A and B are shown apart, each in its own frame.
Chain A
Amino acid sequence: MRRLTLLPCLLFAACEVTESVPGSADAPGAGPGVTAGVIGPAGEPVTAERLVNAAAEPENWLMYSGDYTSQRYSTLDQIDRTNVADLRVEWVHQFTTLSRVETTPIVVDGLMIITESPSNIIALDAVTGRPFWRYDHPVNEDDLRLCCGLNNRGVAVLGNRIFHGTVDAHLMALDLNTGTVLWDVEVARAEAGYSITSAPLVVGDKVITGMAGGEYGVRGFLDAYDVETGELVWRYYTIPGPGEPGNETWSGDSWRTGGAPTWVTGSYDPELNLIYWGTGNPAPDWNGDMRLGDNLWSDAVVAVDADTGELVWGFQFTPHDTHDWDAIQIPVLADLEVDGVLRKLLFWANRNAFYYVLDRETGQFLHGVPFAEQTWAQGLDPNGRPILVEDMDPTEDGVVVSPTIGGATNWNSPSYSRLSGLFYTYALDGATIYYKRDDEYVEGDQFTGGYGQNADDPENFFAAIRALDPMTGALQWEYPIATQGSRPGILTTAGGLVFSGSGDGYIFALDQDTGESLWYLSVGRAVHAAPITYSVDGRQYMSVAASGSLFTFALP
């Protein structure tokens, strides 16, 4: 927030504003932590440049994963290991819906933008939690095809605009300060199984969006739209068409309905001008006979040229997946030394239970080990390809395999701390009985070819926040959390803290080095979202959604 002295002005006459000395505008009698002033970036809009340097303005949270590296590491250090126990609730925002809330807030100079099921937006004062405006997205639920609920995970920002993907597969631009719709494009037909639940990513003058629909036999893609006009600039299909390399990894016409959606926000390297994005399961999920071959680029990370949308390289984690192990995790970018040479790396804890280190210039596989219980692969070969255990594909009668159908991890954000040098991820040790069924593609119907069922009472599974050495994948410590309903994202800070949550309704802070619990609060319902941190007028806040509410904390 910029603190301003407001000069006398007539109603609606242009008011001149000038910056005052920081700290001088504190009005006598103002409530604790409450200051008057201009909120939001009206004066200094968020530029593409600011997005590239987002890590340098930790007072803001400018995009879904904080900055383009998606490390979710903040240099804010006011809240630290010595005082985190004093953290208190500053304000709570209650959503109008009982649906799950998976939103990651965006904070721009004291203005917070959050989303609500099915595809609504709320703009709040980040200090008081009081709303400025809301946008209610009209949807006809009959037209929607959603495997997993009416979810939305957040918006993107550039200039005085925010960008928003909707469950009915539209992408829209809205005015940041009023919520007025500026443009609205249909990205794909909702009735045919397409939807958008993820936050878009702004890169330069383009807004990039993924899509969901892996359970409906869609053909996955990544789209770039002009931020000004909403015109489609490029589309990259994650499944190559006939004549394109990789199309031969799909038997017959199966590429047409092969899934490989892009339903979680990716990352970006401005130097290489590459966008990194994870892709989801091949369709149908559990019946691989209908799509013989490796099924490129399902369950992969693709590196795409930001200007043209052309594939520069791809790495497939789970060739010919038959267990629904989407590789839509957040690509975490970091530059570290390998054998004395500084390299551009990509860290990836995958739903298939392996942790990978890749070279993000070339896609070369450098290292990979399991980080959670798995029974499907003996290991990875020198190229990172799994060496399969026999008879682990789903059958009519069912086959027990680890990890579970929901995976060793999923879409929930990991974090890499530049302070501790550790990689933190949610992990689940469990098993599913995987069944195969015949299926037939019918537009708009589910196309899954089977199903899965817990192999044991989930109470007997084990879930944790795990801290890994990012180069070796070796476990440093773990902090157990609820085995059911946990989809917490992770935030690390220069205060030496790891913030996360649990399916049984706890928000907590851990010591980055030991995993020791330093603070927790029972908020009553499952955490299906990632914490963020920001500051206004020098005061650090931490915010996280838990089911129906968003909680914001600060030190007294």
Chain B
Amino acid sequence: MRSIRAALLAAIFAPAVLAVAGPAAGAQNPFTSPEDIQLGRQLYELDCANCHGGDARGGRGPDLTRGTFRHATNDEQLFQVVRFGIPGTEMPRRVRTDPRAWRVVAYLRSLGSDGEIPPGDPQRGREIFFGSGTCSTCHVVDGQGTMQGPDLTTIGYQRSLDHLRTSLLEPDSELDPRWWGAQVETLDGAQASGYLLGNDLHTVRLLDIEGNLLSFPKASLARFEPEKTSRMPSFDGMLSPEDIDNMIAYLASLRGEATQ
């Protein structure tokens, strides 16, 4: 029996590959010259920087400068991740040719640094998470909590410290459309609201707070207002700066590694 966490771990460790033509296992990177690394950097900035940060220290995607990777232990596996993305995660398939992917790998390998250690006390952060901070009324960690927002079991691995801070202080910035809300009112005056699961030419679909799935023909709606704001309140001022640090230290420690 594996917990959710262990399952995620397995998904993360499985080198995610599509069975598309690619180099043989254990292949060496044929593109490692300084010019290749320079080209790799340019490609990185075009295709990756918006998620992993201009300096690759992470953002919406993980820090790539730590020198070690969850999804790859060798260059071949790193190539697979860069070339094909990681199915089932936000990591997309962006690089279109093998040589390009190898050059990005060369660039990533040229980075390598120690991860930033957050200040703050993770243990204290954990107490707030499951206590006064009310975080666990919306989030799940290691199977504990309520699923009104994203599962945070591996958030420390997925996101940079800066991104975590932004999530806490300005939840509305860079909001993933998965978490947009909407209010609707039907022609006969009934109202509903919830997460916006679908919005197309003819229909609107919501998940309301009670977990009901709602489906409306647009022709039946008098009002439809998407809300591109997060349900998560800003904790700016609600938590002290120290507790924000403690919380970030806790979140950063959630890497899906055996902690219990």
Chain A residues within CB distance 8 Å of chain B: 5-15, 17, 25, 27-31, 34-40, 42-43, 110-111, 123, 125, 127-128, 130-133, 136-143, 160, 170, 172, 175, 177-178, 180-186, 229-232
How far in angstroms is the closest Cβ of chain A from B199?
A: 10
Do A6 and B86 touch (CB < 8 A)? no
Q: Which residues of A contact B88 (CB under 8 A)?
A: 136-138
How far in angstroms is the closest Cβ of chain B from A17?
A: 7
Do B1 and A15 touch (CB < 8 A)? no
Q: Knowing A12-B231, A160-B211, A181-B7 touch, does A230 contact B186 (C-beta < 8 A)? A: no
Do A231 and B1 touch (CB < 8 A)? yes
* 11 residue pairs A–B, Cβ–Cβ below 8 Å: A11-B227, A12-B208, A27-B187, A27-B219, A31-B217, A31-B219, A38-B212, A127-B215, A132-B197, A138-B88, A183-B143
A15–B212 alpha-carbon span in the complex (Å): 10
Interface string of B1-27 (1 = CB under 8 A from A): 111101100110011111100000000
Closest A residue to B189 by beta carbon equals: A8
A43–B210 alpha-carbon span in the complex (Å): 9
Closest A residue to B150 by beta carbon equals: A180
Q: How big is chain B's contact interface, by range? A: 35 or more
Closest A residue to B88 by beta carbon equals: A138
Do A43 and B147 touch (CB < 8 A)? no
Do B212 and A36 touch (CB < 8 A)? no
Q: Which residues of B contact A130 (CB under 8 A)?
A: 198, 200, 203, 205, 215
B173 interfacial contact with A, CB 8 Å: no
Do A138 and B14 touch (CB < 8 A)? yes
Do B193 and A31 touch (CB < 8 A)? no
Do A140 and B203 touch (CB < 8 A)? no
How far in angstroms is the closest Cβ of chain A from B222?
A: 9
A15–B191 alpha-carbon span in the complex (Å): 9
B238 interfacial contact with A, CB 8 Å: no
B96 interfacial contact with A, CB 8 Å: no
Do A132 and B198 touch (CB < 8 A)? yes
Q: Knowing A138-B16, A177-B213 touch, does A5 contact B147 (C-beta < 8 A)? A: no
Q: Which residues of A contact B216 (CB under 8 A)?
A: 36
Interface hub of A15, A36, A43, A185 (most chain B Cβ within 10 A): A36
How far in angstroms is the closest Cβ of chain A from B212?
A: 4
Do A37 and B214 touch (CB < 8 A)? yes
Chain B residues within CB distance 8 Å of chain A: 1-4, 6-7, 10-11, 14-19, 86-89, 143, 147, 151, 181, 183, 186-194, 197-198, 200, 202-203, 205, 207-217, 219-220, 227, 231
Do A27 and B194 touch (CB < 8 A)? no
A24–B193 alpha-carbon span in the complex (Å): 21
Q: Knowing A125-B203, A130-B205, A140-B15 touch, does A186 contact B215 (C-beta < 8 A)? A: no
Looking at chain A's contact residues, the main secondary structure is loop
Do A132 and B220 touch (CB < 8 A)? no
Do B213 and A132 touch (CB < 8 A)? yes
A139–B227 alpha-carbon span in the complex (Å): 34
A140–B210 alpha-carbon span in the complex (Å): 36
A29–B163 alpha-carbon span in the complex (Å): 45
Do A141 and B220 touch (CB < 8 A)? no
6 A-B pairs closest in CB distance: A27-B220, A184-B7, A138-B88, A6-B190, A141-B19, A34-B217
Do B17 and A142 touch (CB < 8 A)? yes
How far in angstroms is the closest Cβ of chain B from A410?
A: 26
A178–B188 alpha-carbon span in the complex (Å): 28
Q: Knowing A13-B209, A177-B212 touch, does A5 contact B220 (C-beta < 8 A)? A: no
Q: Which residues of B contact A38 (CB under 8 A)?
A: 212-214
How far in angstroms is the closest Cβ of chain B from A429?
A: 36
Q: Which residues of B contact A37 (CB under 8 A)?
A: 214-215
Q: Which residues of A contact B215 (CB under 8 A)?
A: 36-37, 39, 110, 125, 127-128, 130, 132
Do B1 and A30 touch (CB < 8 A)? no
Contact of B198 among A14, A34, A36, A131 (CB under 8 A): A131
Interface hub of B151, B187, B211, B214 (most chain A Cβ within 10 A): B214
How far in angstroms is the closest Cβ of chain B from A145?
A: 13
Do A180 and B10 touch (CB < 8 A)? no
Q: Which residues of B contact A229 (CB under 8 A)?
A: 1
Do B191 and A181 touch (CB < 8 A)? no
Closest A residue to B197 by beta carbon equals: A132
Do A128 and B203 touch (CB < 8 A)? yes
Q: Which residues of A contact B197 (CB under 8 A)?
A: 131-133
